[in-house]
Chains A and B, each alone.
Chain A
């Protein structure tokens, strides 16, 4: 319908976008520079030294070490500029800022399931406030997907069996494409959606308004108590009882398993003498396959929950365990400093 109004340049809608674009312009300039030199000399020489009745034999020039050194060193210097620039951008992209609005993303053939820390969930659509960092914690239920928003110049793979993170800070209200960038099967091209960037106030309203009936897909998480959606922490708490975790993990300890209070972010001693930091990945592994890392002083009796919990439920349990602090958390969105993402 709008086939003839076609853009040649993507919209800039995040703090990252102009940064990536600057590097892009620089790269184009470097390329133009070399293309002009190469095409210029190539065409110039082709004309000037073309074979003519008077110019039938080339000159026997064998080379020049000086030139070789020059045209190795100079391009190398330029590539190092590109490298450091790209690395700097990458560092910025790899480190989510504190105080980000948190969203959990589960990729699944072929849809995106998203849940805000505050509880509101959506499918193939992500509402975010303008001007605030948004941090995504992502995992997949089946194959590898990749969360890609061109207008934000950000993309990161979503893998089964582990968590990855991405973040962005949207700068312009509007609607933007959300793509799955990693080939994931038949409807890969249909695994698309949109990101809706809203003014903060409108976003707050949206967050608290009751959701439309979502159950076009099996709404597996939270026991359907109706009414307002459960936050992941609340849903996790419910699950904790429902799946009988509580029988072994009493808050004051003393049961079969260790108390989970204050575990998140702490350093855990394992039976083989090594230690690990209890981050998302560790808690996740402890739940799904607790035998691979045994806590010192305990027997490996915890059953495996692999296959019995959906990725969303695992995330909710983690959020609940995260919230188990002796000093009760003030608000909901807390970001323990130790929650360094496992990728770095």
Chain B
């Protein structure tokens, strides 16, 4: 079938919401039909449930951290417990929540649908990746339950290999294993995007969500193996006492830092690029306009992915790398910031002369733009070598990355989840509740993390459970904000669950959005499309041409 013209003009809806008879959700109800599924949509759901569990676990540790920091003395948690809390918070949030968050859930669900395919190229590999994820998660949970890890999520040597007495091994094994699930997901996406596009869907007709996932997959595939081998070496040194990084055994601890950040800096782009893809989709849809500067946004994703591999040394400004290395990494960090800035400006320009409405996904997307900008701009602060000597390893850095990872990536995840919720489950979420939650998250977030910039510049080091008295007021503010934030997160959790049963039935295309995924019923049938769609036009076919001078400004 040729793609039926999508009604993106917001004419009154003609289609009545009909519950499709056979969907991927009701095809089979048995447990084994879920645990042995090779349907990318079901695997996406499996991932969604798992990462949400990890998110709340990571959130609980964050709650512990924030509660301890209410008072300057270590009253609530012992030093040792606190160290384990922030370590497990970081490990769980990064490796088990944020890295897989958008790619493995929304990405798994949408990549095949957006390109008009019936599944990912390797469905069984996809299922395998989930099992690997769960296995890695299990090891990490063993580490948590068995007493925790206290190395920080960065595992710096020789502390992690020689001195720490906590459960470093199970945690390292968990991260090592989970890495392979990322690799497999990335491999699957790359092959799928290369080989499975519907007829007529050329590269520059791909939705920006796909471009973002393509770029992310490149990092998955090129970066993750390096963290795997690094963690492997840490395991060797710790387990067998063979020297690799410990100077007492002839090794070089800074080499570990280089290898670690060679993955972990690109990994921060794994965490943000998919979110940028989500935001691009949402903004055009609710502004009823084609995206501004399509090819610039598309290529900037690839540019970020590639350049992201050459800036790792900006985490080592104080680590005694050579002065010239530091300068090169500094200047490259500024180069990699430009594609991000380009994206932000293009999103703003997309709003210009739009017909904007403010459903919850749009609120999240707009919140993303603001908070990501602040996070990114403070990235420019810390990339200035002379400046970073002061704020490195203080709360300034903590604030920087939470602005991007929570204010940016988590908001994009929530926005995307609301946006595609009707497609995934065939139910609408309650709009009013969702708007309120989005606003609460935004307020709570800023109250939590803005004071941390000030704290950082004042000099409060990170990973301190006790601190001088004069930092208390700002810490109390931050903890207060975190409680608001927790409410903001719990709300969607509740009303989204509620909507599964009681939400209004969703039509195939509730937002009158363009994009192949909206062509099939909600929720889609197992095969996604009754017939392979044929694509004949560019993406984001929103808006009108009638205002002739609006077509091309400049």
Contact = CB atoms under 8 A, between A and B. Distances in A.
Interface of A: 1-10, 19-20, 23-24, 27, 30-31, 34-35, 38-39, 41-42, 45-46, 49-52, 55-68, 71-72, 75-76, 79-80, 82-83, 85-94, 109, 142-144, 146, 148, 150-151, 153-157, 159-162, 164, 177, 179-190, 289, 306, 343-344
B385 to A, nearest CB: 4
Contacts of A45: 348, 351-352, 354, 356
Nearest to A344: B323
B380 A27 contact: yes
Most buried by B among A49, A86, A185, A344: A86
Contact of A34 (B322, B342, B377, B384): B377
Given A90-B327, A146-B318, A160-B158, A83 B351 contact: no
29 contacts: A5-B470, A8-B454, A9-B457, A24-B457, A31-B380, A31-B381, A34-B377, A42-B351, A51-B356, A57-B10, A57-B544, A59-B354, A60-B290, A61-B292, A62-B551, A63-B292, A64-B553, A76-B335, A86-B387, A87-B385, A143-B163, A153-B389, A155-B393, A160-B158, A161-B248, A161-B253, A185-B159, A188-B79, A343-B320
Nearest to B468: A177
Contacts of B250: 289
Contacts of B464: 179, 188-189
Interface string B462-496: 11111111111110000000000000000000000
B353 interface: yes
Contacts of A30: 377, 380
B36 interface: no
Contacts of B159: 143-144, 183-185
Most buried by B among A10, A151, A183: A183
Nearest to B87: A183
B547 A59 contact: yes
A58 B355 contact: yes
Given A49-B355, A177-B468, A160 B247 contact: yes
B366 interface: yes
B461 A181 contact: yes
Interface residues of B, number: 108
A64 B554 CA distance: 6
In the A-B complex, the 5 residue pairs with the smallest Cβ-Cβ separation, listed nearest first, are: A89-B386, A150-B459, A86-B384, A161-B247, A58-B289
Interface of B: 9-10, 74, 79-80, 83, 150-152, 154, 156, 158-159, 162-164, 247-248, 250, 252-254, 287-290, 292-296, 317-320, 322-323, 326-327, 330-331, 334-335, 337-338, 341-342, 344-346, 348-349, 351-358, 366, 369-370, 373-374, 377-378, 380-381, 383-390, 392-394, 454, 457-459, 461-474, 542-545, 547, 550-554
A63 B296 contact: yes
Given A38-B348, A90-B385, A189-B79, A179 B355 contact: no
A285 to B, nearest CB: 11
B167 to A, nearest CB: 15
Contact of A49 (B253, B330, B356): B356
A186 B346 CA distance: 47
Given A4-B473, A343-B323, A60 B152 contact: no
A102 to B, nearest CB: 19
B320 A159 contact: yes
Contacts of A180: 461
A177 B463 CA distance: 16
